[in-house]
Amino acid sequence: MKHKILPLLAVSFISLPLVSCSNSEINSSDVPEISQSIFVVPENFQGEPYSSQYTSSDKFYVKLNEKIRICGVYSINGTYVSAETSMNYYSSHKWTIDNSEASATSVYCTFDKVGVHNVTFETIDHLGDTLYSKAEIYVSTPPTITLQSPANNYNLVDGENKNGLELSWSISGIDPWESSRCIVYASYDRKTVWDSPLGELDCEGSVNLLGKLDADNNEFGDPINHSVNNTTIYWSVQADIKNETGYAEHAFSEVFSFSTKLKDNDSAIVEIPVSCNSSQYPEKSILTGAFISATGDTLSKISKIKNNAIVYQTLAHQSDIKFIVCDSVRKEFGCATTVFNLAPSTRTRLDTLFLQDKTKPNMVPAKTELPTVSKIQFYILDNGAGVNVSKIQAFMNNDSLVTSFDDYILTFTNTCKKECNLIITAEDYAHNKAPDVYWKVKVIGSETKITGPFARLEEDQ
């Protein structure tokens, strides 16, 4: 903090001998002492910076693209004063931030480049003298942790682990003014992995996991048969990065998993979760499918599988196995396919295989000729995800109609007086929209006729 002494704004001079100042002597304690400081606060900070947890400094640490406000704050006789009060003690001030200048008590900044940025705050007081304050703003690189080995979902780990298993990762974003330490976590349960630290070490290192990896019992306490069941271990890494002030920033990796090999079993077991995406009637789906070899031979068939189930199959180890599954009831979901490889003595769980409804809902009038006093009804049919009732709208000559929808039937009052255009919009839960068409309604006395559908032109929309 730099300062200088400013004289009193008004002094009454009297003619007295220089050797005897008497009561008119001006003491140094009567002269206000001005100094200035630099603060850095968040962009949306309200109030005076000195009346908060923030402190002045000549070094500040911020994140890349963090929105901040750099503030110049004045003190009179060692006490901070408000921006309004300080205006009595200077004539101008100027900021220089990386060769860019600004004239204000505070400047708003966002640094998009990592590194050290130089800040100078310059004030000219009423006598023309200048105060200088300098600071450095350290903009840190966002830290990231990438798990490397074992690869995610690797399933050929020896369950006895006689030689140990190396867990390795890489970390980036540690700047020269920062230090780091890493914590490794591992658990048999994915939900508790972040509650299960193995220990702390240097972030540039790796850890050798020792001891038996195969669990003896499952989560219910039952013994595990390792010839058909493997053990999966989940692991992750947390980095604590500190700057020179001791402030810690935390970075977290993804959660990876690895699994042990099956014992005394050269075959392979595959698990495939299957689901009809966005289905509102999962209980109505019945899935069938087959496993097919790379040469086109059928290895195994499945039938009567429920939606949101897991398909389990034991197969000989081989490459390029195709699994195809179809919905035999909700046929708009069609089929889905995946191809995978199986190594010997492994149990492999694949990502969920989703069957997608890509078919538009269809609509047709329940009757094309009806009494004028009767309500108009349309069937809106969808044999996939299901019709989304909240997306149904009906318009008669652009006037919105009140509708009801039940058991695939849309019902509304006939408001047409002579000849009208009827537009019905609909959408299923898979976001497939009904065809963009309209119908013609013609009222002839006590009878009403409905014709169509007709394609809607752009000028009609």
For the chain, the domains span 2-140, 144-260, 268-355, 362-460
Q: How far apart are CA 434 and CA 411, in angstroms?
A: 17
Structure tokens at 389: 């009732």
Residue 458: the pLDDT is 54
Region 257-280 average pLDDT: 95
3-state DSSP assignment of residue 253: coil
Q: Which of 195, 171, 173 is nearest to 182 (CA)?
A: 171
Q: How far apart are CA 380 and CA 406, in angstroms?
A: 10
**Can you tell me which residue has the tokens 């200077």?**
90
144-260 shares the fold of 2-140: yes
Q: What is the CATH number of domain 144-260?
A: 2.60.40.10
Q: How far apart are CA 237 and CA 136, in angstroms?
A: 32
Structure tokens at 12: 């009454």
Q: Are 358 and 334 in contact (CB under 8 A)?
A: yes
Q: How far apart are CA 341 and CA 153, in angstroms?
A: 13
pTM over 0.85: no
Residue 457: the pLDDT is 65
Q: What is the CATH number of domain 2-140?
A: 2.60.40.10
What mean pLDDT, rounded, does the chain reach? 89
Q: Are 93 and 119 in contact (CB under 8 A)?
A: no
Rg (CA), the chain: 38
Q: How far apart are CA 122 and CA 113, in angstroms?
A: 24
Q: Are 41 and 68 in contact (CB under 8 A)?
A: yes
Q: Are 90 and 129 in contact (CB under 8 A)?
A: no
3-state DSSP assignment of residue 192: helix
Superfamily of domain 362-460: Immunoglobulins (2.60.40.10)
Q: How far apart are CA 411 and CA 398, in angstroms?
A: 17
Q: Which amino acid is at 301?
A: K
Q: What is the pLDDT of residues 236-260, one digit of tens each?
A: 999 999 998 888 899 999 999 999 9
Q: Which of 277, 261, 400, 257 is nearest to 334 (CA)?
A: 277
Region 258-287 average pLDDT: 94
Region 293-315 average pLDDT: 95
**Would the pLDDT of 16 be above 70?**
no
**Would the pLDDT of 26 be above 80?**
no
Region 382-395 average pLDDT: 96
Residue 456: the pLDDT is 82
Considering only residues 342 and 29, tell me which one the structure prediction assigns the higher pLDDT: 342
Residue 4: the pLDDT is 32
Q: How far apart are CA 435 and CA 446, in angstroms?
A: 30
Percent over 90 (pLDDT), the chain:
79
Q: How far apart are CA 104 and CA 92, in angstroms?
A: 9
Q: How far apart are CA 455 and CA 461, in angstroms?
A: 11
Judged by average pLDDT, the poorest of 28-42, 82-96, 211-225, 263-277 is 28-42
Region 42-69 average pLDDT: 92
Q: What is the pLDDT of residues 60-96, one digit of tens each?
A: 999 999 999 999 999 988 899 998 888 888 889 899 9
Q: Are 302 and 326 in contact (CB under 8 A)?
A: no
Residue 19: the pLDDT is 34
**Can you tell me which residue has the tokens 């540690």?**
174
Percent over 70 (pLDDT), the chain:
92
Residue 271: the pLDDT is 95
DSSP-assigned states of every residue in 352-369:
PEEE---PPPEEEES-SE
Q: Are 179 and 246 in contact (CB under 8 A)?
A: no
User: Around Cβ 160, how many Cβ atoms within 10 Å?
Assistant: 13
Residue 248: the pLDDT is 84
Residue 22's pLDDT band, with cuts at 50, 70 and 90, is: very low
CA distance to 28, 88, 126, per residue, from 77 (Å): 11, 14, 17
Polymer length in residues for the chain: 461
Q: What is the pLDDT of residues 329-340, one digit of tens each?
A: 999 999 999 999
Query: 300: Cβ–Cβ under 8 A, 6 or more apart, which residues?
Result: 290, 291, 313, 315
**Can you tell me which residue has the tokens 């963009």?**
436
Residue 88: the pLDDT is 85
Residue 95: the pLDDT is 94
Q: Which amino acid is at 452?
A: G
Residue 33: the pLDDT is 82
Residue 218: the pLDDT is 80
Q: What phi, psi does 84 have (nearest 5°)?
A: -70, -45
Q: How far apart are CA 412 and CA 423, in angstroms?
A: 12
Considering only residues 14 and 378, tell me which one the structure prediction assigns the higher pLDDT: 378
**Can you tell me which residue has the tokens 């290895």?**
299
Structure tokens at 104: 């204000």
**Can you tell me which residue has the tokens 């990386």?**
98
The single-letter DSSP state of residue 215 is: -
Q: What is the pLDDT of residues 200-236, one digit of tens each?
A: 999 987 899 999 999 988 888 889 899 999 999 999 9
Residue 29: the pLDDT is 53
Judged by average pLDDT, the poorest of 98-102, 126-130, 276-280, 412-416 is 126-130
Query: 141: Cβ–Cβ under 8 A, 6 or more apart, which residues?
Result: 64, 114, 172, 173, 174, 175
Q: What is the CATH number of domain 268-355?
A: 2.60.40.1120
